[in-house]
Amino acid sequence: MPKTYDFLVAGGSIAGLTFASEAARRGASVLVAEEHDEIGEPEKCDGLVSLRGLTKYGYPPAPDVIQNKITSAVIHSPSDRHFAVNASSLDVVVLDRSAFDKQVAATAVSNGAEVRTGSRVGRLVQRKDRVEAKAGDADVEARYLVDATGPASSPRHGILPAAKYELEGSWVREHVVEVFLDAAKYPGFFAWVIPFGRHRAKVGAAGYGVSPFRALDDFLQGRECSVLRKVSAPIYVGGPSPRFVEPGRILVGESAGQVKPTTAGGIMTSVAAGVIASKWASQSVQKGDPALLDRYQKEWERTFLKEMRTMLRLRGIFEKLSNPDLETVFSAMATPRLIMKLSQTDFDFHASALLGALGMSGLLRVAKVIASAEVRSLLMEP
């Protein structure tokens, strides 16, 4: 007879590992099964995140996991006009994402979770009171499957092809993140430069229907560099799923769509999901009360749903803008007052912060450029 775990976590990345760590700390029996042979590998994420958010949820990165601190963000328009936002008080850092996942895996193990690598979860059978699955070659039983498999399970809409190079180039500005807008080259997204050391950066591009490596090669024309590593991985911008809990199954992280629809950043929101879900799932198992599981979705949504909806509306507007529209919106937004306000905002709640900084007059200026339903809904926001 196989051992029955409280939770079988499919996916040993940030959402699954935080869930496992917290559930084990609360006394639950947890098995994490990760299909790859090494936690954190292959690394796809750029690791740009706010320390504030991770610290709030009890998972601050160890000092040696932090590769860089960001002091400024420069936004470029299609015609390469630009403005810079001072980010020195926003606590934004670049993580070695693979090392961060290993850090959380070590905490999970020291809290009592089992972590198996090279172990893909497949062939799932749902019984009345448990799930039966294959994890690698082993038969596993658990009360719940925690689906932390990332984009493999996230909703199909809102997935964009993306790629990044890690490179060395003398033009990389050590503490400055750069975002390049161009609706023709990166429809629905942008190109980015995230420095992770002196003259080293993670440089990426994404967009609907683009060939991201071709877009990156075009971007790098005239920027001399040597490429250290190439990664291709989709990003998800479609917003949270309507249901995080299904019979016998709890979804956390990107598989529940818990990713910012503006930037596709999902580290902090996934950590939050792991922590919140494990709290209610552990209580649910200990008290034998399945209804407690619903509190996970309620608590996560109480913190993030309004912001995610605002981000989705901003995305709806952004996706409609042509390059001339982008130039006009850029002019309307690049005012000293707005730039100053943005430098004092919360990185994790940047959509609300942007709206607050724009104010009614700024929104009206944007509305002159695009009279869309999305702008009207933002104007009516309480």
Distance CA 318, CA 237 (A): 13
CB of 39 to ligand FAD, least distance (A): 8
- Work out which of 31, 148, 201, 333 binds ligand FAD, going by CB under 6 A: 148
- Around 176, how many Cα atoms within 13 Å sit in the side-chain half-sphere? 14
Amino acid type, 302: R
Amino acid type, 188: G
45 counts as binding ligand FAD under rule CB under 6 A: yes
Distance CA 344, CA 87 (A): 8
Distance CA 274, CA 258 (A): 11
Subset of residues 47 to 76 that bind ligand FAD, contact rule: CB under 6 A: 47-49
- Of the two residues 106 and 367, which places its CB atom closer to ligand FAD in the complex? 106
10 counts as binding ligand FAD under rule CB under 6 A: yes
Q: How many CB atoms lie within 10 A of CB 175?
A: 14
261 counts as binding ligand FAD under rule CB under 6 A: no
**Exposed / middle / buried, residue 221 (Cβ in 10 Å: 0-12, 13-18, 19+):** exposed
CB of 382 to ligand FAD, least distance (A): 28
Distance CA 376, CA 235 (A): 28
Distance CA 12, CA 136 (A): 14
253 counts as binding ligand FAD under rule CB under 6 A: yes
CB of 147 to ligand FAD, least distance (A): 9
**Binding region for ligand FAD (CB under 6 A) out of 41-49, 282-290, 315-323, 367-375:** 41-49
240 counts as binding ligand FAD under rule CB under 6 A: no
CB of 134 to ligand FAD, least distance (A): 10
- Of the two residues 15 and 99, which places its CB atom closer to ligand FAD in the complex? 15
Subset of residues 263 to 322 that bind ligand FAD, contact rule: CB under 6 A: 264-267, 270
CB of 93 to ligand FAD, least distance (A): 10
212 counts as binding ligand FAD under rule CB under 6 A: no
120 counts as binding ligand FAD under rule CB under 6 A: yes
How many degrees, rounded to 5, is the angle at CA 336 between CA 332 and CA 340?
A: 115
How many degrees, rounded to 5, is the angle at CA 209 between CA 208 and CA 210?
A: 95
| Footprint of ligand FAD (CB under 6 A) | 10-16, 33-36, 44-49, 120-121, 148-152, 162, 164, 204, 233, 235, 253-255, 259, 264-267, 270
